[in-house]
Amino acid sequence: MNGVTDPIRQAESYYHLHLVSDSTGETLISVGRAAAAQYSVKPIEHVYPLVRTHRQLDKAIQSIEEYPGIVLYTLTDPELRNRLKIYCQNNGVPVLSVLAPVVRLFQAYLGGVPEPRVGGQHQLDGEYFRRIDAMNYTVMHDDGQHTDGLEAADVVLLGISRSSKTPTSIYLANRGIKTANIPLVPNLPIPPGLSELKRPLVVGLVASAERVVEIRRNRLLGLNASQPNDSYVDRDAVAEEIAFSRRLCARHGWPVIDVTRRSIEETAAAIIGLLQERRRKMFETTSA
């Protein structure tokens, strides 16, 4: 593994990626996919969660032997960890503990010896229940439902149909952020009290007319309800909807995010950045 690309490997259209964890495997999946996304060759994932016994590890090793590839692992049991590592090294299989370098950095800074805990990030603690509470709130306040409870939100998303409000709301809720979303329709009033909200961050989501039309047409085709002449998929009508959204947000001083070329994760990250900046300013104001 000297950094030189193997021409045989480069010519293959796929490779095997083995993810071995003594917890849910979510950390491994995220890291593995983030690294794999840097290459055009696609991985075939083999995920082995909750590996806590030698018998469970046997199944993972058997699969690695049958489908050699890259092995990433998070195992806190030293016997299991060493067994997997030694097997891979003896058989020329690239293997890496994804948390080891990070833990070493923490140890160098904090000192002491870490106390390994299986699935420590998934404990039923306050943070866990905060995410569950946020998810419940978000589902209850999707697509303009229960607008009388918007003051309890952390974030309120505004946007026309097919501007990714709901998936962005769900993603934020999974991060523990209570999120409501409100559909915007030209010539229809916004919910009463929306402009007077004090606690939540209100954000408008917009996209290009071409992108919105494309998504709407695909949705209609999926529902077998395509209506080419309907204003719902008319480019000029959609452009006016978007202009209406921008005017509304400008009038109230609400930030706007163009989601045309953003993934849900990127949109959520931008919103979280705005939320953190808003909270920082509020803290500085109250502590002054």
> Per the domain annotation, does 242 fall within a domain?
yes
The per-residue pLDDT for 5 is 46
Considering the domain boundaries, does residue 115 fall inside one?
no
Annotated binding residue 160: yes
The reported pTM is 0.72
Looking at the structure, do residues 163 and 274 belong to the same domain, yes or no? Answer: yes
* Sheet containing 14-21, strands listed edge to edge, beginning at the edge strand earlier in sequence: 42-48, 14-21, 70-74, 95-97
What per-residue confidence (pLDDT) applies to 221? Answer: 84
Residue 279, domain member (yes or no) = yes
Q: Assess whether 59 and 187 both reside in one domain.
A: no
Residues 16 and 134 in one domain: no
The reply to whether 96 and 137 lie within a common domain is no
Domain ends where: 47, 77, 110? Answer: 110
Same domain, yes or no: 149 and 224: yes
Residue type, 135: M
Q: Tokens 């002449």 label which residue? A: 229
Predicted local distance difference test score (pLDDT) of residue 288 = 66
Radius of gyration of the chain (CA): 24
**pLDDT tens figures, 137-168:** 999 999 999 999 999 999 999 999 999 999 99
pLDDT tens digits along 99-126: 899 888 888 888 877 666 655 554 556 7
The answer to whether the annotation marks 23 as part of a ligand binding site is no
pLDDT value for 124: 54
164 assigned to a ligand binding site: yes
Instruction: Tell whether 46 and 90 lie within a shared domain.
Output: yes
Q: Looking at the predicted structure, is the pLDDT value of residue 175 above 60? A: yes
β-pair partners for 95? 71
Q: Are residues 96 and 212 in the same domain?
A: no
209-224: per-residue pLDDT in tens? Answer: 999 999 999 988 887 7
Burial 128-158 (b: 16+ CB within 10 A, else e): eeeeeebbebbeebbebeeeeebeebbbbbb
**What pLDDT score does 157 carry?**
98
Compute the average pLDDT of residues 48-73.
96
Same domain as 137, residue 71: no
| Domain of residue 248, residue span | 126-287
Q: Say if residue 163 carries a ligand binding annotation.
A: yes
Boundary-marking domain end, from 110, 136, 153: 110
**Of 56, 80, 110, which marks where a domain is finished?**
110
Is residue 117 one of the residues assigned to a domain? no
Total structural domains within the chain: 2
CATH number (domain holding residue 36): 3.40.50.2300
In a domain, 41, yes or no: yes
Check whether residue 190 and residue 101 sit in a common domain. Answer: no
The CATH number covering residue 212 comes to 3.40.50
Per-residue pLDDT at 3 exceeds 80? no
Q: Is the pLDDT of residue 12 over 80?
A: no
| 96, part of any domain | yes
Q: Per-residue pLDDT tens for 209-267?
A: 999 999 999 988 887 765 555 889 999 999 999 999 999 999 999 999 999 999 999 99
Angle at 250 between CA 248 and CA 256, to 5 degrees: 90
72 located within any domain:
yes
